[in-house]
Amino acid sequence: MKKMLAAAVSRVLSGVAQKPASRVLVASCNYSNDATFEIKKCDLYRLEEGPPVTTVLTREDGLKYYRMMQTIRRMELKADQLYKQKFIRGFCHLCDGQEACCVGLEAGINPTDHVITSYRAHGLCYTRGLSVRAILAELTGRRGGCAKGKGGSMHMYAKNFYGGNGIVGAQGPLGAGGQIFEAYNMAALWKLPCVFVCENNLYGMGTSAERAAASTDYYKRGHFIPGLRVDGMDVLCVREATRFAADYCRSEKGPIVMELQTYRYHGHSMSDPGVSYRTRQEIQNVRSKSDPIMLLKDRMVNSKLATVEEFKEIDVEVRKEINDAAHFATTDPEPPLEELGHHIYWDNPPFEVRGASQWIKFKSLS
Amino acid sequence: MAAVSGLMRRPLEQVSGLLRRRFHRTAPAALQVTVREAINQGMDEELERDEKVFLLGEEVAQYDGAYKVSRGLWKKYGDKRIIDTPISEMGFAGIAVGAAMAGLRPICEFMTFNFSMQAIDQVINSAAKTYYMSGGHQPVPIVFRGPNGASAGVAAQHSQCFAAWYGHCPGLKVVSPWNSEDAKGLIKSAIRDNNPVVVLENELMYGVPFEFPSEAQSKDFLIPIGKAKIERQGTHITVVSHSRPVGHCLEAATVLSKEGIECEVINMRTIRPMDIETIEASVMKTNHLITVEGGWPQFGVGAEVCARIMEGPAFNFLDAPAVRVTGADVPMPYAKILEDNSVPQVKDIIFAIKKTLNI
């Protein structure tokens, strides 16, 4: 321990600053490399056993999850700002509050697994490998956007990530084949290795779950498909549940349903203030008691996996990354007009696309 | 419109100096009503008039409507007449069609017509074709309504125009209001019609105010389905359009008027059954035709207008081929510069008119 402290101090004194902010870090704590945490037991449906109730979190993983969640949180808040400044147009559905879902999910699967989701997709876009720059520039409709400015908020794609879908429920069958119940049927019939994830944030636009669903036990709605209900505000819970679900599928037992109980701070979209169908008190309660980023940080600090200062440094770095990305997103030029007709067909010889009249033509390249 | 004709009458009154029945120097402050308010009024009046009428759809009740078109209706009529549905278009459209078959008069709202694709089997196979298939036994008095076509920055899956798709099907009536008067008169006619009627509204028009003529303020104000309206008289060219582009056509006409070109602008109001007679009569007067629509060019509304003109008496009166101005033949892009160039603009209409007139 003394050696570590000496090393830290000498590093600071020798001026080898890995971070430009020259904050003197004289910590007298023990860094653990990992810690064991208890996590909430998942509700099970048609399953003999479920994910474990304890998990080991390494310092490295913890810091990584924190950074990812904080990046997503800040990115979404930046998107809120850019929308109000009218740099972002159309629909914009933010997922702040739900960060543990996408980060936990990613932690439980491999990059080679395939993921598809709905329109509230920015978090998953990031965890699936798109940079904040590419995401924000897509939101602002610039050529540096991940879809070259042609898709916008709901239509971002990456390797092994199929968007981003504007039509509610459409992603179910695309991932498996019919709409949700039809998808369930075929997945079970053909034993497709599919995890059907429901991020249950309690509301479908302005309608609470109770007013839209005869049964709100979504993890049971797969009927003949087993299911798990998971605390979606705890990134470790999501990770363990995802690992369990992924293993279940990989061992050829067929599909499984995973309901993540989570919450969105924003309204349905930027045109929904989000307070006509729920109280501000409710939102505040969740924020103060169950915020996923806060939960992880508190756990790590209390078990000495990291210090408060370290988290502050990460916050500073994240803020810079987001601000740089926002700068790019607001200064990158729009896509060139000549490319309006491109990308209609794949693997096709060039052809002409008609514009607003027969005299306006655009070239279409694959 | 009412205000314009009022101004026309005044000089005559002054000249004649006869008894004035009323002392008024100017028309009373005209009532301005937005398209949204007009649809709201129309539905409210019909809900009041006939208890078999009811509205269902996503967020129509407690949220007051995703675009606030049904604001206040749930408060006034309650759960049994204004019904919030789960996000299940195929399901609730089917339920609505069944209700119509059983004798009720549902208004089925699609949050946008893009989502009607989820339910299109119910619209076509269960609603449109049933009266025919049953040999005249089973009518389906249902209205499907909602915003159609491009909005602003909502990208490919939320911007499609369905006028051509629904206009293609026998058994359906399809209307496309432009201004507030259209919106109120057509929704009322649609609700009173005993057949399935698709009402293609436009989200960008919801907030636009228009002067409401006094006739439109009556609870029995109806606009007949199947009749187009000449919004502006002209002599040089016939400009046919529907929905929001009608406004663009009128703007183009104003610009061209300064150059001595007088456009006759026709607001189709109904897509199916199409009022081709009004268009023919106009073409026989002006000898030139362009069509303007937001939808894609291939197999579109404009294509149908051109085909019908060729089949009828007006063809021989054309001095130049008819021209279509449409949306670009691409899925709607998101970036503003690309989106702006994917929808017909005033400059495109002016350009096409001049090309047709060989100017």
Q: Are residues B165 and B124 in the same domain?
A: yes
Residues B191 and B245 in one domain: no
* Mean pLDDT within A114-136: 95
B50 and B191 belong to one structural domain: yes
Average pLDDT over residues A181-186: 90
With beta carbons under 8 A apart, name residues in chain A contacting B157.
Answer: 154-155, 165-167
Inter-chain CB pairs, A–B, below 8 Å: 152
pLDDT recorded at residue B61: 98
> Of B181, B215, B249, at which residue does a domain stop?
B215
- Same-domain pairing of B59 and B180: yes
The pLDDT score that the predictor gives to residue B27 is 56
pTM equals 0.86
* Same domain assignment for residues B179 and B301: no
Backbone angles phi, psi at A125, to 5 degrees: -55, -45
Is the omega angle on the peptide bond into residue B149 within 30 degrees of 0, that is, cis? Answer: no
**pLDDT at position A163:** 84
How many C-beta atoms lie closer than 10 Å to residue B330's C-beta? 22
CB of B125 less than 8 A from some CB of A: no
Q: Judge if B244 and B153 occupy the same domain.
A: no
User: Does residue B195 belong to any structural domain of this protein?
Assistant: yes
Q: What is the pLDDT of residue A166?
A: 85
Q: Residue A170: its pLDDT value, please?
A: 77
Instruction: Enumerate residues 51 to 110 of chain B having a beta carbon within 8 A of any beta carbon in chain A.
Output: 58-59, 62-63, 66, 84, 86-87, 90
Q: Domain check: are B277 and B185 in the same one? A: no
Please tell me the predicted confidence (pLDDT) of residue B194.
96
Look at residue A3 in the predicted model and tell me its pLDDT: 54
Q: Are B206 and B243 found together in one domain?
A: no
Phi, psi of B120 (to 5 degrees): -60, -30
Distance CA(B351)–CA(B325), nearest Å, equals 10
Q: Tell whether omega for the bond before B273 is within 30 degrees of 0, i.e. cis.
A: yes
| Total residue length of chain A | 366
Give the model confidence (pLDDT) of A184-226 as tens digits. Answer: 999 999 999 999 999 999 999 999 999 999 999 999 999 999 9
User: How does strand B82-84 pair with strand B53-57?
Assistant: parallel
For residues A104, A109, A110 and A112, what is the CA-based torsion angle, rounded to 10 degrees? -110
Contact residues on chain B for A221, CB-CB shorter than 8 A: none
- Please give the residue range of the domain that contains residue B126: 31-215
Do B242 and B209 fall within a single domain? Answer: no
Are B63 and B201 members of one domain?
yes
| pLDDT range class, residue A9, cuts 50, 70, 90 | low
B208 and B296 belong to one structural domain = no
In this prediction, residue B324 carries a pLDDT of: 98
Q: Which two tokens stand for residue B286?
A: 């002006």
A residues 234..273 contacting B (CB < 8 A): none
Mean pLDDT of chain A: 91
Residue B221 lies in a domain: no
From chain B residues 174-233, the ones with a CB under 8 A of any chain A CB are none
Q: Above pLDDT 90, what percent of chain A?
A: 83
What local confidence, expressed as pLDDT, does residue A165 receive?
Answer: 85
Q: Are residues B42 and B76 in the same domain?
A: yes
Active site residues of B: 89, 158
Choosing from B215, B236, B267, the residue where a domain stops is B215
SS3 labels along chain A: CHHHHHHHHHHHHCCCCCCCCCCCCCCCCCCCCEEEEECCCCEEECCCCCCCCEEEEEHHHHHHHHHHHHHHHHHHHHHHHHHHCCCCCCCCCCCCCCHHHHHHHHHHCCCCCCECCCCCCHHHHHHCCCCHHHHHHHHCCCCCCCCCCCCCCCCCCECCECCCCCCCCCHHHHHHCCCHHHHHHHHHHCCCCCEEEEEECCEECCEEHHHHCCCCCHHHCCCCCCEEEEECCCHHHHHHHHHHHHHHHHCCCCCEEEEEECCCCCCCCCCCCCCCCCCHHHHHHHHHHHCHHHHHHHHHHHCCCCCHHHHHHHHHHHHHHHHHHHHHHHHCCCCCHHHCCCCCCCCCCCEEEECCCCCCEEEECC
B 286-315 residues with CB < 8 A to A: 297
Residue in B157, B333, B348 nearest the CB of A357: B348
Residues in chain B closer than 8 A to A91 (CB atoms): 153-155, 158
- CA distance linking residue A300 with residue A294, whole number of Å: 10
Residues 6+ apart with CB under 8 A from A285: none
In angstroms, what CA-CA distances link B280 with A93, B234, B260, B311? 48, 14, 23, 11
pLDDT in 10s for each residue of chain B, 359 residues = 444 444 444 554 454 555 545 565 555 567 999 999 999 999 999 999 999 999 999 999 999 999 999 999 999 999 999 999 999 999 999 999 999 999 999 999 999 999 999 999 999 999 999 999 999 999 999 999 999 999 999 999 999 999 999 999 999 999 999 999 999 999 999 999 999 999 999 999 999 999 999 999 999 999 999 999 999 999 999 999 999 999 999 999 999 999 999 999 999 999 999 999 999 999 999 999 999 999 999 999 999 999 999 999 999 999 999 999 999 999 999 999 999 999 999 999 999 999 999 99
B328 → closest Cβ in A206, A277, A354: A354
- Cα–Cα distance measured from residue B357 to residue B240, given in angstroms and rounded to the nearest whole number: 15
Mark which of B180, B215, B250 sits at the end of a domain.
B215
> Which pLDDT tens digit goes with each residue over A88-112?
999 999 999 999 999 999 999 999 9
Report d(CA B297, CA B326) in Å as an integer. Answer: 6
Judge whether B23 lies within some domain: no
ipTM over 0.90: no
Provide the residue ranges of all domains of chain A, joining segments of one domain with +: 34-335, 337-365
- Structure token pair of residue A312: 């502050």
- Residue A98 sits at φ, ψ, to 5 deg, of -105, 20
CATH number of the domain bearing residue B190: 3.40.50.970
Do the chains contact at A358 and B342, CB–CB below 8 Å? Answer: no
| Alpha-carbon span B127 to B141, nearest angstrom | 9
In the structure encoding, which two tokens stand for residue B42, read together? 């129309």
Q: Under CATH, what is the fold of the domain A34-335?
A: Rossmann fold (3.40.50)
A79-90 pLDDT, tens digit each? 999 999 999 999
- Of A150, A167, A206, nearest to B62 by CB-CB distance is A206
Nearest CA in chain B to A276: B63
What are the chain B neighbours of A356 within 8 Å (beta carbons)?
Answer: 325-328, 341-345, 348
pLDDT score of A24 = 44
Q: Which residue of B has its CA nearest to A86?
A: B153
Q: Is residue B17 part of a domain?
A: no
For the record, the structure tokens of A47 come out as 């399953």
* pLDDT number for residue A169: 78
3-state secondary structure chain B: CHHHHHHHHHHHHHHHCCCCCCCCCCCCCCCEEEHHHHHHHHHHHHHHHCCCEEEEECCCCCCCCCCCCCCCHHHHHCCCCEEECCCCHHHHHHHHHHHHHCCCEEEEECCCHHHHHHHHHHHHHHHHCHHHHCCCCCCCCCEEEEECCCCCCCCHHHCCCCHHHHHCCCCCEEECCCCHHHHHHHHHHHHHCCCCEEEEECHHHCCCEEECCHHHHCCCCCCCCCCCEEEECCCCEEEEECCCHHHHHHHHHHHHHCCCCCEEEEECCEEECCCHHHHHHHHHHHCCEEEECCCCCCCCHHHHHHHHHHHCHHHHHCCCCCEEECCCCCCCCCCHHHHHCCCCCHHHHHHHHHHHCCC
Q: Which of A129, A121, A127, A124 is nearest to A158 (CA)?
A: A129
Q: How many domains does chain B have?
A: 2
